[in-house]
Amino acid sequence: MSMKPVWAITGAAGRIGTVLRAGLNDDVETMHCLDIRAIPSLLGHEIAHQIDLADLEAMVRAFEGCEGVIHLGGYPSEADFHDLANVNIVGTYHVLEAARRAGVRRVAYASSNRITGFYPVGSKVSPNMPVRPDSLYGVSKAAGEALCRLYVDKFGLSAVCVRIGTFINEPGNTRHLSTWSSQADTVRAFRAAMTAPDVTYATIYAASNNDGLMWDMSAGEALGFHPVDRADIFADRFEGQERPLPTDFQSGGDMTSEAHTLSMQRAHEVDPR
């Protein structure tokens, strides 16, 4: 008789969801795969559920018999705040409430390093420090973390919030040499988040074992997350390129600019300043 658990994963058809499904293949007896889109190429132990995060009752049914849920579904970057609120905040509430009703033990919530993007590069940010979102997307992820905390304290759920770094195949600029989270290390982070024993609530950063990490990784280490890959092996391709200064924002690029957020809001007005 198998002793492997039954898990569910939302956002199963997305980039990270596809990687986690393959990487956690041997960890589970059954994986219930939820997405608003059709899920191609199901593995033998996977069961597909084409469900919108707005459909609470459907999620309750999908989570029945599951011991854990990985919640990835939602907008993955900056968008109109009304959309972010409906999908990333209300959708996360539905996931947690469905988990509560279905008797799920553990939820691993896909959060983001964008929650602390306004800290300077020279700061070593720990999950215990106040959030400083670089975007309304980051705000939506912070709200999701707060919902997880509420469901832990009020309803006895176990939750781990995983603040994912830069999830791409290989670093694309000098910032990524610090923030990169390889596919294999992202799988390791979520495996630890789902399997660490005796966890009530925790927040960890998912990043590879990079030089110049801007985040305190000790909370993840306490859960058994030990990243292996290193962005440094790609450093030669950026030789001579400017690296972030200690005073630069950790978010990098245009994420902290007014225009980046305002241009995506359907109801925004141009500031005459």
In a domain, 31, yes or no: yes
pLDDT tens, the chain, 273 aa long: 568 999 999 999 999 999 999 999 999 999 999 999 999 889 899 999 999 999 999 999 999 999 999 999 999 999 999 999 999 999 999 999 999 999 999 999 999 999 999 999 999 999 999 999 999 999 999 999 999 999 999 999 999 999 999 999 999 999 999 999 999 999 999 999 999 999 999 999 999 999 999 999 999 999 999 999 999 999 999 999 998 999 999 998 888 899 999 999 997 555 544
Name residue, tokens 């393959």.
Answer: 22
Residue 65 belongs to domain with CATH number: 3.40.50.720
In a domain, 145, yes or no: yes
The residue annotated as part of the active site, out of 137, 151, 201, 205, is 137
In a domain, 133, yes or no: yes
In a domain, 170, yes or no: yes
How far, CA to CA in Å, does 184 sit from each of 12, 81, 160?
Answer: 17, 32, 19
Number of domains in the chain: 1
In a domain, 268, yes or no: no
Give the residue from 133, 162, 87 showing the smallest Cα distance to 250.
Answer: 133
Backbone torsions φ then ψ of 264, nearest 5 degrees: -100, 0
**Domain of 44, in residue numbers:** 6-262
Alpha carbon distance 238, 161 (integer Å): 32
User: Quick count: other Cβ atoms within 10 Å of Cβ 43?
Assistant: 10
pTM: 0.95
In a domain, 161, yes or no: yes
In a domain, 270, yes or no: no
In a domain, 48, yes or no: yes
Annotation marks residue 201 as catalytic = no
